[in-house]
Amino acid sequence: MAGFSVACVLSLLLSLFVTFHGSIASESRVLSQLNKAKGYYLTDEEHWFNQTIDHFSPTDHRVFEQRYYEYLDYFRVPDGPIFLMICGESTCNGIVNDYSAVLAKKFGAALISLEHRYYGKSSPFNVLTTENLRFLSSKQALFDLAVFRQYYQDSLNVKWNRSNIENPWFVFGVSYSGALSAWFRLKFPHLTCGSLASSGVVLSIFNFTEFDKQVGVSAGPDCKGALQEITRLVEQRLLDNEIAVKSLFGAEKLERNDDFLYLLADAAVTAFQYGNPDQLCVPLVDAKKSGKDLVDAYASYVKKYYINTPGQLETYDRRYLGNTTLSSDSGSRLWWYQVCTEVAYFQVAPSNDSIRSSKLDARYHLDLCRDVFGEDLYPDVYLTNIYYGGTRIAASKIIFTNGSQDPWRHASKQISSPDMPSCIISCHNCGHGSDMRGCPQSPLNLEGDAQNCTSPEAVHKVRHQIIEYMDLWLSQCHDTDA
């Protein structure tokens, strides 16, 4: 699933970071490999606190230890703002040195970050059976953030020997954590002065056909045509000689043809999601023009830029997703659980003019949910959108940003409304979270470098707007407290 979110990748690697689906899993794997890369994190020093497992039960008082980080080098002691960088659906190994560092310096802010429940080292259980996953939801995660926010404010007050003081808070997130950032401001408006929802996927969508369509728009007619032809050729070769075509992609381990087709769809998505469209499209369009084998050309791309880290291929394998042992590779199972219960974002083929195989329909996704979790799980997106409002979210002081090439933008709020500005970052390689992470997303590029965006101006313009709104809302917050 390429889909989702996060993503940062080594510049040479296309994409290891997807935050959503397959993507998600890859992200956590890459992040853990990069953990030791100097300069990637502002801090990776762990702190812990006891969090309630079930915020909605009056009788269950069990707790688990949740991991967090703090970075105080830029903090204007003791009254500066506190920026809560929300970690989403992957291991959270520290506070990333992206554009948030620039903002913290500018505003004299403390940066803190809480790992999302279940991911990384913040799992309440060592065995991730479906039964044990029942406390994994965005609703519980938001409550975690609220409780943690109070805990942290209290601990600062103790540290500075004062009471009843509130620093001005601001929350940030990208992709799923971007949605959490918006929802936090919605559900707990008294706990934050405002929110940045970068590529925040606030609308849950069951049949997310816009996703594939946006890939086509971002690719342009020639590259889109090549991708569609590749899908047809691969489907034909699967009938003729399944093993041969899977081996071409180094994916003979994938038993099911539909899972293989899903992998191929994700591999293309990643190029647009994370700002590397030319790595994909230039060779494909060349191959088409010179009459070379398109499937060969695509296989080279997929092997070089997508299935290039250990464990990546396995995230498309249901046997692996069904593994209940907690490990550093559990991220994709966990994200699928959230997909299968709450948010869906099923990246189904549109009925007309699709790039991905028409076998990737709603049934495909529901079967996957059943195979992996063993029950008839069903994502009730209707209820999720009733709970949060979808794109009709009734909140204030949230900035929504979207990258023009990002297929996820159609699950975000793209239209401005009073007190909730929406900004689009338009350029050839502006993708998921480009305001915070620059382009293409590279974990080794510090401070969310925008220099390699095809239009750094587009990124600077949106960053400037972000700063103006933050300035305004933080000052209004301060006034109210005074």
Ligand X SMILES: *[C@@H]1O[C@H](CO)[C@@H](O)[C@H](O)[C@H]1NC(C)=O
Q: Tell me the CB-side half-sphere exposure of residue 417, using CA atoms within 13 A.
A: 10
> Does residue number 424 form part of the binding site for ligand X (CB under 6 A)?
yes
- Residue nearer to ligand X on the CB measure, 80 or 403: 403
CA distance 386 to 394: 11
The CA-based angle 323-329-335, given to 5 degrees, is 80
- Answer for which of 414, 417, 455, 465 binds ligand X (CB under 6 A) is 414
- Residue nearer to ligand X on the CB measure, 424 or 467: 424
> Does residue number 49 form part of the binding site for ligand X (CB under 6 A)?
yes
Classify the C-alpha dihedral 331-333-339-345 as positive or negative: positive
Please identify, among the stretches 166-174, 232-240, 411-419, 473-481, the one whose residues bind ligand X according to the rule CB under 6 A: 411-419
> Does residue number 378 form part of the binding site for ligand X (CB under 6 A)?
no
Q: Give the shortest CB-190-to-ligand X separation in angstroms.
A: 26
- Answer for which of 61, 352, 376, 418 binds ligand X (CB under 6 A) is 352
- Residue nearer to ligand X on the CB measure, 285 or 439: 439
> Does residue number 207 form part of the binding site for ligand X (CB under 6 A)?
yes
Q: Give the shortest CB-60-to-ligand X separation in angstroms.
A: 15
- Residue nearer to ligand X on the CB measure, 228 or 300: 228
CB 268 within 8 A of CB 349: no
Q: Give the shortest CB-285-to-ligand X separation in angstroms.
A: 18
- Residue nearer to ligand X on the CB measure, 120 or 440: 440
Q: Give the shortest CB-443-to-ligand X separation in angstroms.
A: 10
> Does residue number 48 form part of the binding site for ligand X (CB under 6 A)?
yes
HEC string for the chain: CCCCCCCCCCCCCCCCCCCCHHHHHHHHHHHHHHCCCCCCEEECCCEEEEEECCCCCCCCCCEEEEEEEEECCCCCCCCCCEEEEECCCCCCCCEECCHHHHHHHHHCCEEEEECCCCCCCCCCCCECCCHHHHHCCHHHHHHHHHHHHHHHHHHHHHHCCCCCCCCCEEEEEECHHHHHHHHHHHHCHHHCCCEEEECCCCCCEEECHHHHHHHHHHHHHHHHHHHHHHHHHHHHHHHHHHHHHHHHCCCCCCCCHHHHHHHHHHHHHHHHHCCCHHHHHHHHHHHHHCCCCHHHHHHHHHHHHHCCCCCCHHHHCHHHHCCCECCCCCHHHHHHHHHHHHHEEECCCCCCCCCCCCCCCHHHHHHHHHHHHCCCCCCCHHHHHHHHCHHHCCCCCEEEEEECCCHHHHHCCCCCECCECEEEECCCCCCCCHHHHCCCCCCCCHHHCCCCCCCHHHHHHHHHHHHHHHHHHHHHHHHHHC
> What part of residues 54-73 is at the interface with ligand X (CB under 6 A)?
65
* CB closest to ligand X, residue no: 11
Q: Give the shortest CB-319-to-ligand X separation in angstroms.
A: 7
Please identify, among the stretches 93-101, 127-135, 304-312, 322-330, the one whose residues bind ligand X according to the rule CB under 6 A: 322-330
Q: Give the shortest CB-186-to-ligand X separation in angstroms.
A: 19
- Residue nearer to ligand X on the CB measure, 52 or 402: 402
Please identify, among the stretches 42-50, 241-249, 296-304, 372-380, the one whose residues bind ligand X according to the rule CB under 6 A: 42-50
Please identify, among the stretches 45-53, 241-249, 266-274, 386-394, the one whose residues bind ligand X according to the rule CB under 6 A: 45-53
> Does residue number 214 form part of the binding site for ligand X (CB under 6 A)?
no
Radius of gyration of the chain (CA): 22
CB 114 within 8 A of CB 87: yes
- Residue nearer to ligand X on the CB measure, 168 or 216: 216
Size, binding site for ligand X by CB under 6 A: 26
Here's the x/- map for ligand X, 381-410, by CB under 6 A: it reads as ---------------------x--------
Please identify, among the stretches 116-124, 169-177, 299-307, 417-425, the one whose residues bind ligand X according to the rule CB under 6 A: 417-425
- Residue nearer to ligand X on the CB measure, 138 or 354: 354
> What part of residues 135-174 is at the interface with ligand X (CB under 6 A)?
161
- Residue nearer to ligand X on the CB measure, 50 or 150: 50
- Answer for which of 422, 435, 437, 463 binds ligand X (CB under 6 A) is 422
Catalytic residues: 175, 406, 432
> Does residue number 79 form part of the binding site for ligand X (CB under 6 A)?
no
Positions touching ligand X (CB under 6 A) are 11, 48-50, 65, 161, 206-207, 323, 325, 327, 329, 352-353, 362, 402, 414-416, 422-424, 440, 442, 445, 452
